[in-house]
Structure 1
């Protein structure tokens, strides 16, 4: 499994940012999503960071998606 920081084509909910972070750090996508949603309670720039990662993180290549399955 690739440890690159990419937005996977599978297991996306919105943009795949949380799924990509979860895959990169070996966590479950649900846990990363829960942490993000809970972090919205705190003041900060969470939404801006999410949007920036959406723009910066590349989509997973078709060949990588097939190789992972």
Structure 2
């Protein structure tokens, strides 16, 4: 049985600020802590990292939770 592809979304658990790093980690098979560390380190370099984070916060949907009861 093939697993379903992982959608890029912001999970409702394991969030610190908006869940962007956690969602990226889940999507690409990395730990949320590793993505957070990479983001913080990337902020030491010049570039639009914070703007990209804010854009992803706005554009990425929240993870949907389905209840067991229909």
Q: What TM-score, normalized to structure 2?
A: 0.87
Superposed CA RMSD: 1.7
Choose between structure 1 and 2 for higher RCO, CA contacts under 8 A separated by at least 6 residues.
1
Please state how far the C-alpha of 1:62 moved relative to its aligned partner.
1.6
Of residues 2, 5, 9 in structure 1, which corresponds to 2:8? 5
Q: Which runs of 4+ in 1 moved over 6 A?
A: none
* Unaligned stretches of 5+ residues in structure 2: none
Deviations 1:2-49 (A, max 9, x none): 610000000000000000000000000000000000000000000000
Aligned length: 65
* Unaligned stretches of 5+ residues in structure 1: none
Q: What TM-score, normalized to structure 1?
A: 0.88
Of residues 39, 44, 56 in structure 1, which corresponds to 2:42? 39
Bigger Cα Rg:
2
- The structure with the largest helix share of the pair is 1
